[in-house]
């Protein structure tokens, strides 16, 4: 752990997790997920949780937002993913000897480290949770596919619209009654990194979406004024996850 980290005793994870987006979980499964991690730790905004090249640890994000970024030879960095509560962070690096990305707190966050042995035990003892973890990885592939399509062929307004909708749809997975607004803790430079644009272009695109009556922006707060038109602007369909698929393995006894 880095300095300036406050730890407190482990508790059953009551934070939302993405597993429930795919299936109703039993109390035993919720307990298994809740005990995957070690003691919960707190990081303040802008603190690095793990550096690129460090040990490839995996973390559960309980609260707050985290940026995943990669580095270039000249020392600059690019944000490649934004993690929200319930995300497993660092899992793509598990098969490597060193972490492929840096994890930085965008807000105050709470996380718990998950030992590889804990994930291996989950696969042995709960095939249903293991299958859902596999489905989560496929969801990430779809998100990456859409990101690549946006960067390759879509205009700035489409990219920004799709990004805002992705954040909103993810928040709705945490709470189906999530209002049509959220605090976006990223800077213009960080949003530009994610979208493959310049910060000035992002600022102008925000203004254009406001002029079109699609959103309202007040500092970090984003209000989605016309959700249907924003989805048309983005050009991507709203994908619906398959819940409680009949082919999922049964819950472990």
Q: What angle do CA 44, 93, 101 make, to 5 degrees?
A: 45
Beta bridge partners of 181: 223
Residue 174 — very low, low, confident or very high, per pLDDT cuts 50/70/90?
A: confident
Task: Please state the pTM of the whole predicted model.
Answer: 0.87
Over residues 220-251, the pLDDT tens digits come to: 999 999 999 999 999 877 888 899 999 999 98
Rounded to whole angstroms, how far apart are CA atoms 15 and 240?
22
| pLDDT tens per residue across span 124-157 | 999 999 999 999 999 989 988 888 888 777 899 9
pLDDT at residue 6 greater than cutoff 70: no
- The mean per-residue pLDDT over the stretch 8-15 comes to 38
Confidence bin at 36 (pLDDT 50/70/90): confident
The answer to whether the CB of 89 falls within 8 A of the CB of 58 is yes
Maximum distance among all alpha carbons in the chain? Answer: 56
Strand stretches in the chain, DSSP E: 6-8, 37-43, 48-50, 58-63, 66-71, 77-83, 88-89, 102-105, 109-114, 181-183, 215-218, 221-224
Kindly tell me the sign of the dihedral angle through the C-alpha atoms of 162, 168, 173, 177: negative
- 192-213: pLDDT as tens digits: 989 989 999 999 999 999 999 9
| DSSP character at residue 105 | E
**Short-list 102, 95, 83, CA closest to 17:** 83
User: What is the C-alpha separation between 222 and 186, in angstroms, rounded?
Assistant: 12
Mean pLDDT of the chain: 88
For the chain, what percent of residues have pLDDT higher than 90? 63
> In whole angstroms, what is the distance from residue 246 CA to residue 140 CA?
22
Query: Which are the contacts of 173, defined by CB distance < 8 A and separation ≥ 6?
Result: 16, 18, 21, 86
Q: In what order do the strands lie in the sheet with 181-183?
A: 181-183, 221-224, 215-218
CB 242 within 8 A of CB 21: no
pLDDT of residue 15: 52
Domains of the chain, start order: 6-125 (2.60.120.10), 155-234 (1.10.10.10)
Give yes or no for a contact between 111 and 59, defined as CB atoms under 8 angstroms apart.
yes
Closest CA to 30 of 48, 43, 16, 47: 16
Q: Is the distance from CB of 65 to CB of 82 less than 8 angstroms?
A: yes
The pLDDT of residue 11: 35
CA distance 88 to 109: 14
User: Three-state DSSP class for 221?
Assistant: strand
pLDDT of 152 reads 72
Residues paired with 147 in a beta bridge: none
């Amino acid at each position: 752990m880095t300095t300036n980290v406050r730890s407190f005793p482990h508790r059953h994870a009551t934070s939302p997790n993405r597993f429930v987006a795919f299936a109703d979980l039993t109390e035993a499964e919720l307990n298994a997920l809740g005990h995957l991690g070690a003691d919960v730790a707190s990081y303040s905004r802008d603190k690095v949780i793990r550096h690129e090249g460090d040990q490839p640890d995996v973390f559960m994000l309980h609260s707050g937002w985290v940026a995943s970024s990669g580095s270039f030879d000249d020392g600059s960095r690019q944000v490649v993913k934004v993690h929200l509560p319930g995300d497993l962070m660092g899992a793509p690096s598990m098969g490597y000897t060193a972490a492929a990305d840096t994890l930085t707190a965008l807000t105050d966050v709470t996380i718990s480290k998950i030992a590889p042995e804990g994930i291996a035990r989950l696969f042995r003892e709960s095939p249903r949770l293991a299958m859902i973890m596999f489905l989560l990885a496929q969801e990430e592939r779809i998100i990456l596919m859409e990101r690549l399509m946006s960067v390759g062929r879509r205009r700035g307004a489409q990219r920004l619209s799709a990004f805002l909708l992705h954040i909103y749809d993810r928040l709705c997975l945490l709470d189906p009654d999530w209002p049509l607004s959220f605090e976006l803790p990223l800077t213009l430079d960080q949003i530009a990194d994610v979208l493959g644009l310049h910060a000035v272009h992002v600022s102008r695109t925000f203004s254009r979406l406001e002029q079109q009556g699609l959103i309202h922006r007040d500092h970090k707060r984003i209000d989605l004024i016309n959700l249907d038109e924003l989805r048309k602007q983005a050009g991507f369909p709203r994908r619906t996850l398959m819940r409680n698929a009949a082919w999922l393995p049964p819950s472990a006894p």
